[in-house]
Structure 1
Amino acid sequence: MRKIYITAASLLLLNVISPAVHAQKKQVLSAIDAKVNALIAKMTLEEKVGQMTEVTSDVVSKTNVADHQLDADKLKEAITKYHVGSILNVSGHAYSREHWYDVISTIQKAADQDRLKIPVIYGIDAIHGVTYTLGSTLFPQEIAVAATFNRDIAHKAGEITAYETRASYIPWNYSPVLDLGKSALWPRIYETFGEDPYLVKTMGAAIIKGYQGNDVGDKYHVAACMKHYLGYSFPLSGKDRTPAWIPDRYMREYFLPSFAEAVKAGAKTLMINSGEINGVPVHASKYLLTDVLRGELHFDGVAVTDWRDIQYLHDRHHIAATQKDAVMIAVNAGVDMSMVPYDYTFFTYLVELVKEGKVPMARINEAVHRILKVKYELGLFERPVGNPDDYPKFGSEEYRMASVQAANEAITLLKNNNNVLPLKKSMKVLVTGPTANTMRSLDGGWSYTWQGDESDKFAANKNTILEAIQQKIGKNNVSYEVGAAFDSLQNIDEAVSAAKKADVIVLCLGELSYTENVGNIEDLNLPPAQIQLAQALAKTGKPVILVLTEGRPRIVTDAEKLSAATLMAYLPGNEGGDAIASILFGDVNPSGKLPVTYPRFPNALNNYYRKNLENGNPDDKHGYNPLYEFGTGLSYTTFSYNNLHISKPELKDNETLTVTVDVKNTGQVEGKESVLLYTSQQYASIAPDTRRLRAYDKISLKPGETKTVSFKITPKDLAFVNDISKTVTEAGEFKIMVGDQTQSFNYVSAATVPSRTGRL
């Protein structure tokens, strides 16, 4: 029997991390603090400000050359004149390990020529594996990892990514994304762990522990960077880097828990939200960057900007009259390091501001202390460049199989009419649709290049969906017609003709790779051409198996209603084609569950934890009615839930409620089941959510086997943020829901805030 001990739903006040933990941490790190303090005492103002400066690799690289080369003169200027503390990114596309070794070695040799010999910390976006190193292990994107509901998979992906990042001689990973994927319109939803705060915070903590291990300074782990603090994922328009309007109570209830949990998990660094909230750019918000982040969450690591975001305080947000003012505002608000990234203006302005008394030296020393501490913790002073021979598992079969498992457990079976799946391998299959024969729709953005637009070149040795099906059942049993591009019809007549000759149609729809503002859309509907292809194929009378590879839940209602079965594959990574084929033909039993609510209509984007007012009523026929609800996911077997039991009918302060439920495999094949526990508060002073996920576990069951799953719930797990931004648990009746089972209990506390009744 496996047990889950649930942490609080909203650990958002001053005591998020206990004083005892802080005291212990301070004692452990005292030796490093002493080294940092001694080094800071030797530093000039310019050397300190240099440590706070981060430039992109283009700044120190040659231009107009076929292959990437560092420029010795530019690098010398960056290190010895500006004392740059950090470099990031790639120029062009992914490098080989050998080239990364040359790049990092050259940079650290240059740093060794500076007066104090402080190593540079190099950062990279390794968000689903080492995305900028050739031959690395690419995992499914975060949204797909969330669909596994398996913390072990997240942790293992973190471990392998850290190993291969260090094998690329890079110690700093700008991951994980801890933003809440609430808005289906937002182009970066695939980089999140879904729409639920509990799922995001627990999966995020698991991958952070995988990245950083027990000793972040060893040669196999990296510093994690939780991002994008805070509220980045919920712009009002749904478009990237546009204004958000999020009340403080709402922010603390839904968006802050993942970052609070990441601090508890020990994340070393943090990247700041590029947008603005309630008219205030987060890079200028002392309230969020100092009062909340440092004062409440007790985060003591490095806060780095996102791309050019101090400059944008002037250029885009228009809250700073000059670029110099922008630097003053951001640093005084709490920014430690500026991802400038193309020039040294930040350095020049900040030196001037300190000399003018507009930025206190104490603020500079604070920021530099944090930066240098992370460098010491990573072991960069002793080992600025790794040993190439220390990483024999890089790109290994063992690591590839971990990615295969992640993809297998992520892919979600949403519909399976008359058990049309799994398909027989003797069938004649038409494979069609714009995502059928491209790696771009399996890998998504941040794959070899920023936009993932060269995945077909760099992942040419991996199987597209078409190639995987051909390998699975033989090319003679597979025909292929593209039918439609992403936004236009192609040879639809040929596709229909081929469908008439086939036993079944595998229709692959979805999106091409994108990220950030490049992925902004005006319409959540899939382009009409893809829907028209589905409609034309359905008229043949042959069963249509709809396979969706997409970074967000695009509206597919008119196509989906025509399918016999529907698979949501998300962006499953380099092994995704094989995983899809294995599920289609029954070599793998699907076990993924939706980590988001899949909308039926473009203007019906409610999350599953909606308010009761959103459910509709007799006078409103347009209430909550998604195409598929959060947590939906079928299997080739069946599971029954029985004997939901709670340990007591009343829960009091400082007590724990034990919840058990029996889960049985009532089908004919072995399968995995994600057991999801929800709670619902019946009445509260803030309108309660309809239900909230409080725990989950994933189990494997053989046919006929029963397992008892156990969970623990405390009053903190039932808490919410009230109208004065305090986290409280109020007395009253609660329901627990697991599968189709329901039980009720009462929480009783003399100290609780009474529920409101009556009208305002």
Structure 2
Amino acid sequence: MAAWRAMAALGMLSVLIMQPSICKASAAHRQLRQDAEGDSVVSPKSREGAQEYLSRAEQCAALGGLMSVDLANQWACCPAFCKTCGGADGCDKLLGGKDACCPATIQAANLKCSEIKAPPCVLDAGGRIRGPRNPDPPPMGVLPDPFKEISDAKGGLEESDIPPPTELWGDCTETRLCQQGSVCRLAAEGWAQCRPELEMCPPPDVEDEFDCTIIGSSVHPPLKDCYKWGYQYSGTVLETRETTDSPWQCQTRCQMKDKCVGVNFISDQQGKCILMASTTGTEAKPGVGWLAAPKTCGWDRLTNPVQKDFALELWLSDLIGNMTLEEKAGQMIIAPIFGVPEPEVTLKKYSLGAMLWPPGFYREAKIWQVAAEMDNFYAAAMDKEWASGIPIPPLMAADAIHGHNNAPHSTIFPHNIGLGAANDSVLMEKIGLVTATEMVASGIDWTLAPTVATARDTRWGRMYESYSEDGYTVENIVGGLLRGLQGNPEDPESFLAAPHVLATCKHWLGDGGSWGGLTDGDTVAAETELRDIHSRGYRACIEKGGVQSVMPSFTGTNTIEMHGYPFLLTDVLKNTYNLDGFLVGDWNGHARSGNDENGENLPGCTVEHCPFAINAGMDMLMIGGDWISFINNTARAVESGEIPLERMDDAVRRILRAKARLGLIGPDPTKVKGKPSTRKPYAARDDLMASDEHMEVAREAVRKSLVLLKNNRHVLPLKRSANIFVTSRLIDDVPYADFLPTHVGSWALSWQAEENTNADFLYGTSIWKGLSDVVTGGGGAAMLSKNGSDDFAATGEYDAIVAVIGEERYAEAAGDLKENSLLHHARYPADLDILDKITAKKSPDTPIVCLLVSGRPVYVNQHLNRCDAFVAAWLPGVAAGLGVGDVLFEGGYDFHGRLAHSWPASPCQATVNVGDGQEALFPFSYGLRMNQGETDEVGYLRELSDTRCT
């Protein structure tokens, strides 16, 4: 029967291959029809757009055209769409080399599509300029001309008549869909290509006038909220809660109830939440204390680029149908390697979905030895007697946060905060590929990364794991990294093929917005904030990267634990955002019952037993405890009906689908990978670790991540022949400037990385070493202070002083500042003491160049006032000195980085973010250049000394 099904499926595939455009158009048509008819969780705008699509499809058919979907997932009527081209001259090759119909606006300007080179935001993702939707749309293919007045007056248009974006909108800070007149402008690969000189954003007063949502596009303007202040629903009350902190919490409670359709919130002293079973309309209520909101404001339906393999799905159905409940339950577990002390015994008896290599293990081993350890786990699992007769090896996972950082002698890149400042999607793809290659060399095939949090509070201990406070920046960066890690999701031949690995986007959803910046705290936020700010990275993970797994957050949302939030896990992430991979839990995250007095947070859950989380949508749980008991308990819960068999089978299918795409299992045994050490040409190769090629990528990442905050008197770049004095405080009797563990940060060989020394990174280059190599190679000299600048001699022999200051190592909650302020010298007073000593001794003409190594923007006004030049170096990694040396000296590279996180103007300004109306010291996207004539000087800054913040 299985063979027959497979043959039938292959026959079906052959038909689909012959008609790919029809297949894709039909699939999109079916999806849009579902959206139009209300059979999905989408926003009202998306539903309206889907209904318009169906109407346009009828028009298209009447014209003899076919509704199709282009590579940007935008619909068009073909060939009717191109009837307005006006002959051969109207059609041209776009940037992707594809034939296209030039829109009327470009024809009016007497330009060909290929001649539109600047600004890059002129064309949308499909290479066309789209007009807004309106109640009476123009005929298909005819686009409005925003430059008609100019054209009529001059008798034609020249390219110079189309103003650059900065002239359109002036000095703007938002990063949104761009409009000019009635023409929508979209960056072809994300807005970052236009930033900052060519950044565009609409003035706020046109928000209601234009609507440029493009059906099926991967880029959308933010949806408007759905909260009606000063109104209440009439209808049937489901439940009333007398004490509710916020309307957002009230709406969240509604989402936890199947029968709830909306809420009324009354902001009295305690906050009353009324859950509605039905609504018959709204009525105005005087004052501002009332709010009415539906169950959800709506989420855009996303398109997953990874195409399902029908033959594989049939094969998986047969495999799952022949597995025992215990085998299925085992596939739903990821356990740490120390939780499987005798794999040859345990894995021969029990199924296990994945195993985790925690930081701190194998730190002294060779890579071939690590691969051999992975072989042992693989072999034990393959020796088990499987009910189906088909052995299923576990996924081998690691937290590859900034490179394959668990592994000794690995290429460790800057932490995400620095990569966000670089904001280079091509660089990110290189980083992803290097990371994947080194993972495969050690026998690891799954990374529990990247973190795609949009951090909104600088006090957060995971701040450096966030690329940006701006969701659009995160979205731009993540797509490139995912392509490097997993391969091209639109190419089945390369996707997840060697040396690519599975990736995990985390932590869904809102971990960067926790109240007070507390790790594992609670995010108090409106659904629209979660959707429009915090989910943007996940959109890229799915639409651009085809990510195969997502990890929910330890952080709760409006007091609901994410591991038990079915609306966001299943309704949104799986059914609407179209994740066809699996959800993997964080460490015992399913057992976090919280302090919910109403008992809605994971009721009845323990580490070894949690039906609620599984029913909410969790597919694989990370168990730091008795995972064998979890297998037995879960199997019994399915037998009793507490967990539906269909839910278990869906979870197992999602996990096995990812394993099959990776090549660990599959219907063709000849294409299935063997044990890790045999996966050539990358397996067990120590020579791949921190190879010259890989270190060059790390070096590029460092120099692009550096942000120049101050360059008074143009003291940078320094001469290569300069005599420099390098100073810093001491760490374990080693100068901070020469102490690589602080440059690398945490999540390196171990979690907090407190025990790391320079001996762990002999292949790396400290900031001191990088500076010294440049000047000694250029005929100059460098001296490193060994006692915190007490050895500085005011002899005037130095051309410059370089002070390296910064934070110590920390990870997660250990880095939370809580009530402490961002005042740097309150935590590290020696840094300011050194600058004061140097300032008192040096010649007035000798400049001080300061490099700040940190995992977050901090309040350093005192330091800025004492430094002539100031560079934010973030946590640069093992190539720190190489990248710094590339930029600080004449004949090298200019600064590239720009702030992806706003810089605080006061010690307690921890929640300053782009677009919030606050004035930062250095705003989002700020970053000076040395070689572009930028002359702005940073004057004397007010020095505040608040150490605690209320």
TM range (shorter): 0.7 to 0.9
User: Which of 244, 247, 251 in structure 1 is aligned with 2:526?
Assistant: 247
* Cα distance, 1:574 vs structure 2: 0.9
Partners of 1:609 and 1:166 lie apart in 2 by 39
Question: Any unmatched runs of 5+ in structure 2?
Answer: 1-116, 121-186, 191-218, 224-296, 489-493, 666-671, 730-735, 936-950
Residue 602 of structure 1 is matched in structure 2 by 907
Residue in structure 2 matched with residue 119 of structure 1 by the alignment: 393
Matches within 5 A, 1:227-246: 227-246=506-525
Q: Residue in 1 aligned with 2:193?
A: none
SS at match of 2:693: helix
What displacement does 1:456 show?
A: 2.1
- Deviation (angstroms), 1:17: 2.6
1:352 aligned residue: 636
Match of 1:461 among 763, 783, 786: 763
Q: Which residue among 384, 397, 409 is the counterpart of 2:692?
A: 397
Structure 2 residue aligned with 1:695? none
Match of 2:465 among 177, 185, 191: 191
List per-residue Cα deviations over 1:526-561 (Å, max 9, x = no partner).
123322322332233442211011111121111112
1:197 is displaced (CA, Å) by 0.8
Residue of 158, 162, 168 corresponding to 2:432: 158
**Structure 1 counterpart of 2:855, from 551, 557, 560:** 551
Match of 2:587 among 262, 287, 307: 307
Larger Cα Rg: Structure 1 or Structure 2? 2
- The residue type equivalent to 1:599 in the other structure is P
Structure 1 residue 16 and structure 2 residue 310: aligned? no
Aligned mate of 1:571, from 851, 870, 875: 875
What SS class does the counterpart of residue 270 from structure 1 fall into? strand
SS, match of residue 474 in structure 1? helix
Partner Cα separation in structure 1 for residue 801 and residue 786 of structure 2: 12
Answer yes or no: is the 8 Å Cα contact 1:505–1:544 preserved in 2: yes
2:505 counterpart of 1:505: no
Question: CA, structure 1 residues 554+348, in 2 after alignment: closer, same or farther (shift >3 Å)?
Answer: farther
Identify the residue that residue 532 of structure 1 maps to in structure 2: 833
Distance in 1 (alpha carbons) for counterparts of 2:316 and 2:914: 46
* Distance in 2 of aligned mates of 1:347 and 1:500: 72
* Mapped pair 1:409 → 2:678: no
Give the match's secondary structure for 1:228. strand
Task: Tell me how far 1:316 sits from its aligned partner.
Answer: 10
In structure 1, the residue matched to 2:651 is 367
Work out whether 1:85 is the aligned partner of 2:365: no
1:284 alignment counterpart: 564
| Structure 2 residue aligned with 1:480 | 784
Q: Percent identity?
A: 26
Matches of 2:422 and 2:874, distance apart in 1: 12
Q: CA deviation at 1:238?
A: 1.1
Q: 1:230 corresponds to which letter in structure 2?
A: L
Per mean C-alpha deviation after superposition, the further-off stretch among 377-386 and 222-231 is: 377-386
Residues 190 and 313 of structure 1, relative CA distance in 2, 3 Å threshold: same
Q: 2:923 aligns with which of 629, 633, 639?
A: 629
CA separation of 1:326/1:607 partners in 2, compared to 1, >3 Å: closer, same or farther?
farther
Q: Report 1:300-339 matches (<5 A).
A: 300-313=580-593, 319=601, 320-321=603-604, 323=606, 327-339=610-622
* Structure-2 separation of matches of 1:194 and 1:89: 28
Task: Check whether the contact 2:344–2:376 (CA below 8 A) recurs between aligned residues.
Answer: no
CA distance in 1, matches of 2:761, 2:595: 38
What SS does the corresponding residue of 2:874 show, helix, strand or coil?
Answer: coil
| Superposition pairs of residues 261-272 of structure 1, within 5 angstroms | 261-265=540-544, 266-272=546-552
For the aligned residues, what is the CA RMSD?
Answer: 2.6
Contact 1:428 1:502 in 2 (8 A): yes
Task: Say whether the 8 Å CA contact 2:485–2:502 is kept in structure 1.
Answer: yes
Q: Could you tell me how far 1:270 is from its partner in structure 2?
A: 0.6
Query: Which one-letter code corresponds to 1:334 in the other structure?
Result: G
Would the alpha carbon gap of residues 555 and 14 (structure 1) be closer, same or farther in structure 2, given more than 3 Å must change?
A: closer
Which letter does structure 2 place at the counterpart of 1:530? Answer: D
Of Structure 1 and Structure 2, the greater strand share is in 1
Structure 1: gaps spanning 5 or more residues: 62-73, 484-490, 615-623, 641-665, 667-760
The Cα of 1:259 is off from its aligned counterpart by: 0.8
**Whole-Å separation in 2 of the counterparts to 1:39 and 1:350:** 19
Provide the secondary structure at the position in 2 that maps to 1:561. Answer: helix
1:385 partnered with 2:675: yes
The 8 Å contact of residues 443 and 455 in structure 1, kept in 2 or not, is answered as no
The alpha carbon displacement at 1:315 in A equals 9.5
SS in 1 for 2:589: coil
Q: Is the 8 A contact 2:914 2:923 kept in 1?
A: no
Per-residue Cα deviation, 1:558-585 (whole angstroms, up to 9, x for no partner)? 1112210001111111111121123222
1:10·1:257 contact (CA, 8 Å) conserved in 2?
no
Q: Is 2:422 the partner of 1:148?
A: yes
2:315 to 7, 16, 35: 35
Instruction: Name the CA distance, whole Å, in 2 between partners of 1:560 and 1:93.
Output: 42
TM-score of the two chains, using structure 2 as the length reference: 0.61
Task: Assess, with a 3 A threshold, how the Cα gap between structure 1 residues 201 and 461 changes in structure 2: closer, same or farther.
Answer: same
Deviation of 1:10 after TM superposition, in Å, equals 4.3
Question: Distance between the aligned counterparts of 1:222 and 1:13, measured in 2?
Answer: 33
**Relative to structure 1, is the Cα distance of residues 290 and 389 closer, same or farther in structure 2, using a 3 angstrom cutoff?**
closer
Secondary structure at 1:190 match in 2: helix
Q: Which protein has greater RCO, CA pairs closer than 8 Å, 6+ apart?
A: 1
Matches within 5 A, 1:88-107: 88-90=356-358, 92-94=361-363, 95-107=365-377
Cα 1:384–1:333 change in 2 (3 A) is farther
What is the alpha-carbon distance in structure 1 between the residues aligned to residue 857 and residue 518 of structure 2?
A: 15
- Equivalent pairs, count: 606
Q: Is the 8 A contact 1:314 1:323 kept in 2?
A: no
Q: Write out per-residue CA displacement over residues 145-180 of structure 1, whole angstroms, 9 at most, x where no aligned residue.
A: 221221110111111211221122211111111100
Aligned to 2:517, the other structure's residue is in SS state coil
The 2-side partners of 1:200 and 1:9 are apart by: 15
Which amino acid in 1 is paired with 2:831? Answer: Q
> Normalising by the residue count of structure 1, what TM-score does the alignment of the two structures yield?
0.75
Q: Contact 2:487 / 2:496 at 8 angstroms: preserved in 1? A: no
Equivalent residue, structure 1, for 2:404: 130
Q: Secondary structure at the match of 2:408?
A: coil
CA displacement, residues 223-282 of structure 1 (integer Å, 9 cap, x when unaligned): 111011000112112121122211111111100121122111200111110111111010
